[in-house]
Structure 1
Amino acid sequence: MSFLNQVELSVYKPNTQKSPIARRREKLAFKLEEQLKLASDSTYQPTKIVWNTDSDGNQHKVEQPKRIKRWWVELDGGAVQLTVRYGSKPLEFAKGKNAIALKSKEDVEPTLRKLKLAVLAGEFDEMLAQQVGITKLLRK
């Protein structure tokens, strides 16, 4: 009991409720991390677990490769255009501009790292809120 007398005790209050902004940041940061892995290793293939039914009607879990769409395209001359997608649509960085122009494919990975840091710092919060607002309006 001497240990418990030496420390300060309190009531545990779990913080399970995250703000919508924090959830959006984490979601985009996770997707950027997947793109980073894809940029550094072209054979990167994450997996997901799905339920399959065999010929006898029994269901069991199976691990399947998950499809990841690259966010960059290589243009003629070695230039690269990089988009950042939230959901299925690219984010619009400025009016009518939804891609980052890079000089070569080698610039993709460092740019993705910088983007991830910017997302976690909250620089994309306004764009994410606007993107979510647009998709909510389209669903109605």
Structure 2
Amino acid sequence: MELQNPVRLLLLLFLAITFIQSGYDKLMYWKDNLNWLKSHFAKTPIKDMVPMSLGLILALELIAGIASAAGIIQLLTNSGESFGFYGAVTSAVTLLFLLLGQRMAKDYEGAKTIVIYFIPTLLAVHLFAH
């Protein structure tokens, strides 16, 4: 294993855990999440699109998490890096959607939290793009 692979593996593990767990939570507690999000976005332009938005975020999170997990397998088997790249990029796009939602809801503290996840995600995108 070359020196960069441990960092790539840990970043992909971070993304896989983050997004698979979040997707699982949305699937298992859909109604609770939907009710909370409806109130969270009640005074925003997307108030009538909350169920569709939640479904989109769920799909993106699962794609990001599964692609990141597949990227781990690719790195461990020396069979490429494409899934790692796709996982990292999908993770970044997902976080940007979440950031947009938090900003629209004027939840600036929640938006700050997303930045914490965005930094290692950008590092992963950078490492897999080179």
- What's the TM-score, normalizing by structure 1? 0.33
Flag the structure with higher strand content. 1
